[in-house]
Amino acid sequence: MTRPLDPHFQTSVPDGDERERRICGHCGFIDYDNPKIVVGSVVRHDKRILLCRRAINPRKGLWTLPAGFLEHGETPVEGAMREAREEANAAISISGVLAIYTIRRLGQIQIMHRARLARPDFSAGPESLDVRLFDWQDIPWNDVAFPSVVWALRQDRIADRDGLTAPFCNPEDEDGSLTPA
């Protein structure tokens, strides 16, 4: 990821490090550019899955899981619950971690959870055009916003079918740098 240029910062490899970093020429501060953390959930209710149609870019108008960036001071569970409230006005109960994905090209780590609606009421929040529960066969696969949403949906189905509880990761043939087809 590219950071704005600042005349006080230079790029070099700090002592004891192996990567180039931005370093302040005045005070020696090292500007570590680390991945952002995204949290979200595959939310189920009556064997259906909650999806949100995005009202914002990127991928406005396409379907996604309730998910977004983790805030400072939040645990991943708290962040996933907040995202469900913000995007779907939904209260959820999280049962565990479904998967941890690496999206290299975006500098993201995504922590996806398995969850259920705590109450059966929900509606579109300010970042969603629509929110619906879908049966598996009715998921609008051609209109899913991100590859990691497809991964999470498929891996949640496998976990549900096979009774698996360990977190998944990127599919073997995906390194997280591919764009949606």
pLDDT, tens only, 17-47? 999 999 998 899 999 888 999 999 999 999 9
Q: Are residues 148 and 116 in the same domain?
A: yes
Q: What is the CATH number of the domain that holds 5?
A: 2.20.70
Q: What is the pTM of this model?
A: 0.86
Q: Are residues 10 and 86 in the same domain?
A: no
User: Residues 96, 113: contact at Cβ < 8 Å?
Assistant: yes
Q: Residue 100's closest CA among 90, 114, 116?
A: 114
pLDDT in tens, 49-96: 999 999 999 999 999 999 999 999 999 999 999 999 999 999 999 999
> Is residue 175 a part of any domain in this protein?
no
pLDDT in tens, 91-137: 999 999 999 999 999 999 999 999 999 999 999 999 999 999 999 99
Q: Are residues 27 and 56 in the same domain?
A: no
> Is residue 177 a part of any domain in this protein?
no
Q: Are residues 50 and 25 in the same domain?
A: no
Q: What is the CATH number of the domain that holds 104?
A: 3.90.79.10
Answer yes or no: is pLDDT of 180 > 50. no
Residue 80: partners with Cβ closer than 8 Å, 6 or more residues away: 39, 40, 41, 66, 67, 92, 94, 111, 113, 115
Q: How many domains does the chain have?
A: 2
Residues spanned by the domain of 13: 1-33
